[in-house]
């Protein structure tokens, strides 16, 4: 029975570790948000790939910010780096003011990648280092909302391939129907 108890304890420890890893950052509780100001609803970065998603189709909303605050989890720079992960090259910017006066500047991508910087009430950078976050639930939610934008990007990409002769004539339409059905 002793081996069984130690197995149960081990399983509980691992489950607790996984739950903590998936938990939102407690430094930014949604209950203490005083104001959300979207400074740039959508902008392009050097990583924009219009064959995947046109940044004009992506607009950051207050609801997106609240959802991100609930679900984002901190990651290392190496896990966040655009060279190592998927990025659309689109990002919205927001300032979140908390009741204690702290201001959180956030850059949120539709893929759920988030950067943060903390400021005091005078907009001076605090001692906290820049933060890098991922939000898988945000990505899933936003990508569901962007189905039409993704379809338009697929259409641009496939029509370009067809025009260049890389796929046979009429193949673009067939692939578009297949992609739309799979989403």
Q: Are 58 and 149 in contact (CB under 8 A)?
A: yes
Q: Looking at the predicted structure, is the pLDDT value of residue 14 above 70?
A: no
First to last CA, the chain: 49
CA atoms within 13 A on the CB side of 40: 15
pLDDT in tens, 78-120: 888 777 777 777 889 999 999 999 999 999 988 889 999 999 9
Q: Name the packing angle between helices 147-163 and 136-145 (round to 10°).
A: 70
0.85 surpassed by pTM: no
**Where along the chain do its domains lie?**
2-144, 146-183
């Amino acid at each position: 029975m002793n081996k069984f108890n130690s197995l149960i304890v081990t399983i509980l420890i691992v489950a607790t570790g996984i739950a903590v890893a998936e938990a939102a950052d407690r430094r930014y509780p949604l209950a203490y948000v005083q104001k959300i100001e979207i400074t740039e609803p959508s902008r392009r970065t050097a990583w924009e790939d219009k064959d995947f998603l046109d940044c004009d189709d992506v607009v950051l909303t207050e609801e997106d910010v609240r959802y991100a605050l609930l679900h984002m989890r901190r990651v290392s720079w190496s896990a966040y780096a655009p060279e190592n992960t998927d990025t659309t090259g689109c990002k919205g910017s927001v300032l979140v003011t908390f009741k204690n006066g702290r201001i959180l500047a956030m850059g949120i991508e539709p893929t759920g990648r988030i950067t943060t910087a903390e400021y005091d009430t005078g907009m001076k950078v605090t001692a906290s280092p820049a933060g890098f976050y991922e939000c898988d639930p945000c990505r899933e939610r936003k990508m569901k909302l962007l189905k039409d934008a993704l379809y338009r990007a697929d259409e641009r990409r496939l029509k370009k391939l067809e025009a260049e002769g890389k796929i046979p004539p009429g193949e673009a339409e067939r692939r578009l129907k297949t992609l739309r059905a799979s989403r």
